[in-house]
Structure 1
Amino acid sequence: MWPSPRSPRASRSRSRASATSTSAVTDWTLDTLSRAIAARKISPVEATQACLARIAQLDAHVRAFITVDAEGALASARALQAELAQGRSRGPLHGVPLAYKDLCHVPGLPTSCGTMTREYFASTIECTAVARLREAGAVTLGKLNMTELAMGPFGDNAHHGDVQNPWKAGHCAGGSSSGSAAAVAAGFALGALGSDTGGSIRLPAACCGVVGLKPTYGRVSRAGAMPLSWSLDHLGPLTRTVADAARLMAIIAGYDAHDATSSRRGVPFYEGMLDGPVGGLRLGVPENYYFDGVTPEIDAGVRLAARTLEGLGALIIPLRVPDPRPMADVCNVISRSESAAIHARLARERPHELQPAVRARIEVGFHISAHDYLQALRLRARLTREFIADVFAEVDAIVAPAIPEPDGRPLALQIVGRPFDEATVLRLGHAYQQSTTWHLVAPTLQGG
């Protein structure tokens, strides 16, 4: 998701500062902060302290975090600072504070998965994506709020508090990676990890005005993260800019022996491909389905974004796309079946602990037959092949709405590309951000 032209309220909000010795660390991007740390303009400890102070000041209103590990974060920052003093750097994230959706297993921290059970999910290994970020020098600030068991699009949570949209308190922050998007938008963390089974990175990114990337299935290992639907789950980054998302993707992507579904394909140098020309790329704008039910403001904003890319040389192609409803129905059968199998013990032994809507979603899966489940898997494979063959024979990517109405939140769009062609999606998003300034605008938070 990349922010598109915003509502009038957004235009009055403060802009994120460029990286200088006097600007607030929490206004920086991942890229500018990492450069400042490498240049000794700011230390990992100072950057971490700034993020923790902002969380302490404002997160009571936003509720982006379930667990804040201030002690662990500062210890890690001090160790990273000592390494820099010795002339050692772990890589492109050395000293940069990040946070992770509370379904990623981080040793020493609880993983509630948004439930009332503090240690709901346990893993014998650290979440691979988290481990790769840590090894690249990231500081772990803590674990982020989410819809209970990642089952819901709104960001509501009766156990840990509903995540508030940083742009408009009391309004939907998107789910289920609600805390991940809100933490980035609010300036609590420079980036975050989320998960996406049926929109759980894309929806929060759209609602909170940040960049979210759902990678191709198998591109990023899911080892060490709570599954919701092993056939549909993805892990991916949420950041303030497309360039930051490209950096995190380059680190977390790639084969992992702990995840049998992870791909052995080589990982491109995403950052190095960002500035490639978009001239000649065929960008499809759907004529059917994807603009149905959206407000005139969303419709106009997405089409304006497409024209911006057209001005950079992209070819805008009106496109008839297959009806997405059969795929949505099939994926619902798969996700309900698999989530019921994964969370059956909780749903049957302690159903009173679950929010009613979550319990109802799980219970649907108990009544799906093995025949229907297997048929759904078969149909999904066929529908996927047909969509790729029909659509991506005509275009290189699609631009479409991500949410139906802004209601005082940022407008947003989504760019959809071929499997394993994240590089083109990122290149288009980066080109858009280089030609606009919407991503530089930040919300004004209550208490800030």
Structure 2
Amino acid sequence: MGGFFTGRTLADIGRDLRTGRESARSLAARALESVDPDLNAFVTLDPEGAEAAAAAADEELASGADRGPLHGVPVAVKDIIDVAGLPTGMGSAHFDGHLAEDDAVCVTRLRNAGAVIVGKTGTQEFAFGGTGDVSVNGPVRNPHDRERMSGGSSSGSAVAVAAGMVPLALGTDTGGSVRIPSSFCGVAGFKPAHGAIPAGGVFPLSRSLDHVGVLAATAADCRIAYHALAGPAEPPHEDGGADGGAPDGRVAWIEPPAADPEVERVVRALFPDAATERIDFTGLRQVFLAIQFSEAHDVHAERVAEAPGLYQPVTLARLEKAAQMPGWRLVRALRERDRYAREIAGLLDRYDLLAMPTMPITAPRIGATEVELGPLTALLVSLTFPWNVLGLPALSVPAGTAAGLPVGAQLITRPGAEDLLFRAAERLAGSAQR
């Protein structure tokens, strides 16, 4: 399963670049050589653009110009995010042959940080789903078991990192789309606070819930990428918790409404002293659906009316269901969201971090629509969507395995406490490996 970047952190890569052991050009070439077509992680590769960007990065380093920890690092970009001159296909026949004219804001920031974009990664059609197997480009396969789902919708980005093709990838997350595939594929995925990484140039699913996020092998690498993309860091909160809210600080275990007992056991073991709290998943889900469906139908109404046959059947069915969402449900949802935000803010006044499984199950087989716990559509976002509704930073990190497949632990905190979140995750990484 391992490509060239397996087991190599951004710190390792940066050290090799600055000591001359590697060049940006050699790293870009190794990324392109590591691509495994059978996994279907990439939908577009850009060897010429990568070579040019890598050559420029090498020249800058040689002249003493160092743009920071992403300088010369190969990066992949989810295919709903515009990269100038490359296709943005959205996993849909609707955008066959569409070329982006400009870079998305997050891509501009990647380039300003010296990163080398090597290609675009596969996505669930229009990012509307969590399985990773509904796309005009075909399913993205899980590198741990190629007959299983990668998770979505940032499916290709997770697989590209998990298989060692690249050390870092961009994704988006509307109800869990960075964290779901990160959990299924055994990598780290970070959804920052809403708007922390600008979404300009990213095709929308639900503007109120959409977040740009990052995927990497470790939480530490997600932290590096996040700070490069979000701009100057807010001062971290230091107001409580041993060592800034590490596992022996103020952690609340959020009881999942339903989960595979082995998955829950693996994650819960990382937080043996955490107090148990419960939140209203049912009420929050109604808020999530009203907002997501209303905003998704706004984006797609004309396409659904004019060319429904160009959608994948699963996507079309969801959009037709979205069209039935009454306006009063959205009005109520916006009011209820404010109430839930106050309630969770109170919880985060008492605790540094909230902890729970990222996913209630391990990766199902490709094509599955239901598992023992119920229909997959609802189940896949069942533990991730609240943090999109509330716009809170949420991080998934590898927690171990169940039946030989990866399991993710999810950590949530308040905006401004992101560094606390990452420090706690780094502590957890040591616990999960023992």
TM-score under structure 1 normalisation?
0.82
1:267 corresponds to: 234
1:174–1:116 distance in 2 versus 1, CA, 3 Å: same
- Structure-2 change in CA distance of 1:170 and 1:418 (3 Å): same
Please report how far the alpha carbon of residue 435 of structure 1 lies from its aligned counterpart in structure 2 after TM superposition: 4.4
Deviation string 1:348-385 (CA, Å, 9 cap, x unpaired) is: 11110101111111122222233222221121122222
- Aligned-residue offset at 1:249: 0.6
Show the counterpart of 1:324: 281
* Cα distance, 1:420 vs structure 2: 3.2
How far, CA to CA, are the matches of 2:110 and 2:27 in structure 1?
17
Contact 1:164 1:170 in 2 (8 A): yes
Q: Residue in 2 aligned with 1:281?
A: 249
Structure 2 residue 335 is matched with structure 1 residue 335: no
CA distance in 2 between partners of 1:279 and 1:183 (Å): 30
Deviation at 1:280, TM superposition (A): 5.7
Match in the other structure for 2:407: 411
Give the letter for the 1:378 counterpart.
R
Task: Output one character per residue of 1:288-316: Cα deviation in whole Å (capped at 9) or x when no partner.
Answer: 4x1x4322321221122114xxxxxxxx3
Cα distance in structure 1, aligned partners of 2:108 and 2:270 = 36
Q: Which residue among 108, 114, 126 is the counterpart of 1:137?
A: 114
Which segment drifts farther, 428-437 or 91-100? 428-437
Contact 1:121 1:226 in 2 (8 A): no
Q: Deviations over 1:138-182 (max 9, x none)?
A: 000111101001111110134101010011111111111111111
Instruction: Return the letter of the residue paired with 2:26.
Output: E
Once the two structures are superposed, residues 66-97 of structure 1 have per-residue CA deviations (whole angstroms, 9 ceiling, x without a partner) of 11111211121122112222232222211100
What does residue 337 of structure 2 align with? 380
- CA 1:268/1:119 → structure 2, altered by over 3 Å: closer, same or farther? farther
In 1, distance between residues paired with 2:252 and 2:221?
Answer: 25
The question of 1:213 aligning with 2:190 is answered yes
Match of 1:44 among 24, 29, 40: 24
Of all paired residues, the percent bearing the same amino acid is 36
1:370 to 327, 330, 335: 327
DSSP-derived class of the 1:343 partner: helix
Offset, 1:122 = 7.3
Q: Write the deviation string for residues 211-267 of structure 1: whole angstroms up to 9, x where unpaired.
A: 01111112211111111101111011100011101100101114xxxxxxxxxx953
Contact 2:245 2:420 in 1 (8 A): no
Whose strand fraction is larger, Structure 1's or Structure 2's? 2
Residue 25 of structure 1 and its aligned partner are, at CA, apart by: 4.5
Partner residue, 2:216? 239
How far residue 425 of structure 1 moved from its aligned partner, in angstroms, is: 1.3
Aligned partner of 1:304 in structure 2 is: 269
- Aligned-partner Cα distance in 2 for 1:283–1:120: 48
Matched, 1:396 2:334: no
Q: Which runs of 5+ in 1 are unaligned?
A: 1-12, 17-23, 255-264, 308-315, 439-448
1:83 and 2:71 are equivalent in the alignment: no
Instruction: Write the distance in 1 (CA, Å) between the matches of 2:107 and 2:173.
Output: 16
Distance 1:37 1:151 in 2: 38
Distance 2:288 2:169 in 1: 26
Q: Residue 205 of structure 1: CA displacement? A: 0.6
User: Structure 2 vs 1, CA of residues 350 and 279 (structure 1 numbering), >3 Å: closer, same or farther?
Assistant: closer
- RMSD value over aligned CA atoms? 2.3
Query: What is the rounded CA distance, in whole Å, between the counterparts of 2:276 and 2:47 in structure 1?
Result: 50
2: CA distance, partners of 1:25 / 1:211: 15
In structure 2, what is the Cα distance between the partners aligned to 1:267 and 1:119?
40
Change (3 A) 1:382 1:100: same
1:79-123: CA deviation from partner (whole Å, max 9, x where unpaired): 211222223222221110001111111111111111124468777
How many aligned residue pairs are there? Answer: 389
5+ residue gaps, structure 2: 238-242, 363-402
Q: Which residue of 2 aligns with 1:93?
A: 70
- Cα deviation for residue 317 of structure 1 reads 3.2
